[in-house]
Amino acid sequence: MRLTKVGWAAAIAALATAPLALSACTNGPSVSSVWHHGKKLGTNGKPFSVQLTPAGGATNQPVTTEIGTASNGGKITSVTMTDASGRAVPGTERPDGSSWVPGIQLTYHATYHATVNATGPNGEKQSKTTTFTTMADPGSGNTITSTMYVQDGQTYGVGMPVAVQFDTAIPDSSKAAVEKRLFVQSDPPQVGVWHWFGDDQVLFRPEKYWQTGTKITVRSALGGLKVGDKYIDTDRTGAATIGDKTVFQVDNSKHQMQVYQDDKLVKTFPVSLGESNTPTSSGNMVLMTHEYTSLFDVPGEYRVDVMYAERFTWDGQYLHAAPWSEGDQGYTNVSHGCVNLSQTNAEWVYNNSKIGDPVSVSGTEVHITPGDGWTVWDMSWPDYIKGSALPQQDLLNQAAAEAGSGHNSKTAPHVN
């Protein structure tokens, strides 16, 4: 059966730049190189000093403000931030040292104090402090609503992307800024990249399927980010676990579905796919829902409650129980686009699957449209990288650096 696209609660991070190995060679005494917003300052002979932004007394600052830091010939050792009541604001420095990112969304029309401590090349200490005030609340009529799918405490399949969606199109000029405020942290570390599907959704996936047991922590730190003449509504966070590897492979030529668990074939089921005028889409998809029962309502055609329904396209294609087509399963296609299973087999699939499990379909008349579901695995890694709004070579360099480091694939601030 096929249904029209329904609204979805999408979830989760701009790529934090990978750690960089820094060194400097001079004819005189060695002095550490430093970076300011990604640009090397070097040893220019100027006295050791610390600079930071926003400037002291700055007003009307966005609630996405980061503390920009730089030390000429020294090393930043700590950054602390408090609100007007003296309460500490958690945060983390970006791995490239370009700024310190508060771990929570700042409050509108509030005052904050930040102190940066640094050590010079000869051990000398220096501190700089700034005080700034954030902008007024722009109001609910001036906001872009964001949604994200990663939910606290959930266990997902190895193909689960981190998905963030907006109710308003994000212009190309703002996409990089959005990505930079999206953070994904994985343990164990796995390289990942964001990809825009159209102008209203951006999805993150690792280079290969997530490893079983991976812990992922996501922060969509977009609350208050200005996009055009509007502001994104709020920060969102989520932490989840990747479960066992279960993959469903549907072969139209054989009218069967094979189930692999931890790369071992465990089940083969007869199925019936979409007939020629309503074909099932071929391609690499992901289970997006896990519904014990679902009402399939197509005006003028049918209205029926279906059991063990698991959606894999926004267009309305599911794996589900179809006792009415059991005589056709394994032989011919009679559905409206879904993958029909017997009641017993569909129950087994339901009990042994989860959101995020990969589903691949082959041999049908049509191929899945990018973005019709979580189609992050239906393209090569190089092609996936091209969908990021950040410079491609930077992403490739970052991926290589992260793969060779002992750090988490994404180091980002999160609520303590």
Query: For the purposes of burial, counting CB atoms within 10 Å of the CB of 137, is it exposed (0-12), middle (13-18) or buried (19 or more)?
Result: middle
Name the catalytic one among 338, 367, 407, 414: 338
37: annotated active-site residue: no
Specify the pairing of strand 125-134 against strand 143-144: unpaired
Please count the other Cβ atoms lying within 10 Å of the Cβ belonging to residue 130: 19
Strand 230-232: give its sheet, edge to edge: 143-144, 230-232, 226-227
* Cα dihedral across residues 26, 28, 29, 35: positive or negative: negative
User: Helices (DSSP H) in 223-358: which residue ranges?
Assistant: 343-351
Name the catalytic one among 36, 320, 336, 414: 320
Check if the beta carbon of residue 113 is closer than 8 Å to that of residue 82.
yes
3-state secondary structure of 49: strand
Contacts of 36 (CB under 8 A, 6+ apart): 51, 68, 69, 70, 98
Residue reference for tokens 């992260």: 402
338: annotated active-site residue: yes
- Residues with catalytic roles: 320, 338
